Amino acid sequence: MSKKPKYEIIYEFYKEQILAKIIASEEKLPTEMEIAKKFKVSRITVIRALNDLEQDGFINKIQGSGSYAKNYGESLVTASSSPDIISLVLPYDENFKQNFLKGIEDVAKTQNYFVTFHQTTANLDSEKKVILDLIKHGSKGIILYPSDSPINMELYSSLLIQKFPLVLIDRKISGLDFPIIWTDNHSGYYEITNHLLELGHSKIIFVGTSVYSISSELERYEGFCKAHIDHKVPLLDKHLYFQEDIANIPSDYKPDLDIEHRAINYLFDLLLDIPPSKRPTAIAAVNDSIAELVIKIGLERGISIPRDFSVIGFDDRVFAAHLPIPLTTVSQPTYEIGHQAALVLFNLIKNPDSKMCEKKIKGRLLIRKSSNHLNRN
């Protein structure tokens, strides 16, 4: 359940309806009593929400007549006397955001545009609010690293219908054909899995989070599987560990730890229960954050990395080279992704009917000390 005050829920609901043109310009909103009944709140709460909507320029209140959506024109984009801007929206204040921004800014400068940066903390409500606020305040286009959930589909489908310039990075929004610039996750994970196989590892597990719902994770997993097939190495019956496995963790298992630490500890319990002759010898983490936990928790438990388990990641986050055991990983070409995304975005700004495009940019394998030859472990 939402912890927001009820008046804020009402405010956000009608703000989104107006900006997305679900409530048309100059269309009358429901009466105060109708809104109160809909949201099961008092009329005073409704009045506060409507006053805020009027103050922020979304509605006009006409005494004796009602509240009406303000005229924002025929598209989501509002007129603005501000300098022309485009915007980068990420779920986190990522360590590599500087490279994304540098790539975008180098293109934006040639077009006399400014670039703004925003983060959503991977919160779906925040993501929607940031996007709508950027549009309201005149951003001409957005480069977005989207959340891993399709909950904001009404907003994004409206943007696609109205041809608002939006380019995705890192992951797709299922069902919607927005342009996307991303790392070639399939080939990158194929290459790093090849590295483990060539070191002699034939029993490798893949550890992800939402493999079947996050497009970038699915591509990495498919690269992992393809490398096994091409090396004629069968996959283990139980080779995939992800979100569904967390549901199987007993509720009383290490209750003082957060869910991520509980999950990795439980994973090690499962692996160490397997007879040594059948036990996996390498752990392929879908990203560096999971690999970091695997290495740190493994060392805390007296497990030797890479003697007992080789570990690999993906992304080359800033900490990857500085872990107690430096991490073998694939670096994402973040500058080039930002640069290419900006080129596509400006083409969309100038040519709204441009065809959807998808560009994959190859990452780079970085071999460090967390992976080792099986016979030398």
Residue 27 DSSP SS3: coil
pLDDT of residue 73: 43
Residue 167 DSSP SS3: strand
Record the pTM: 0.74
Going by DSSP bridges, is the β-strand pair 142-144/166-169 parallel, antiparallel, or unpaired? parallel
Full DSSP string of 289-300: HHHHHHHHHHHH
pLDDT of residue 71: 67
Going by DSSP bridges, is the β-strand pair 364-366/329-331 parallel, antiparallel, or unpaired? antiparallel
CB 215 within 8 A of CB 172: yes
Q: What radius of gyration, in Å, describes the C-alpha atoms of the chain?
A: 25
pLDDT of residue 323: 96
pLDDT of residue 93: 58
How far, rounded to the nearest angstrom, does the alpha carbon of residue 119 sit from its chain's CA centroid?
Answer: 11
Q: How far apart are CA 269 and CA 262, in angstroms?
A: 10
331 beta partners: 315, 364
Q: How far apart are CA 70 and CA 79, in angstroms?
A: 13
330 beta partners: 365
pLDDT by position in tens, the chain (length 377): 346 789 989 998 888 888 877 888 888 999 999 999 999 999 899 999 998 888 888 888 887 788 988 865 444 444 444 579 999 999 875 566 788 899 999 999 999 999 999 988 878 888 989 999 999 888 999 999 987 666 788 889 999 999 999 999 988 888 899 999 999 999 999 999 999 999 999 999 999 998 888 889 999 999 999 999 999 999 999 999 987 788 889 999 999 999 999 999 999 999 999 999 999 999 999 999 999 999 999 999 999 999 999 999 999 998 999 999 999 999 999 999 999 999 999 999 999 998 889 999 999 999 999 999 986 44
CB 140 within 8 A of CB 162: no
pLDDT of residue 116: 93
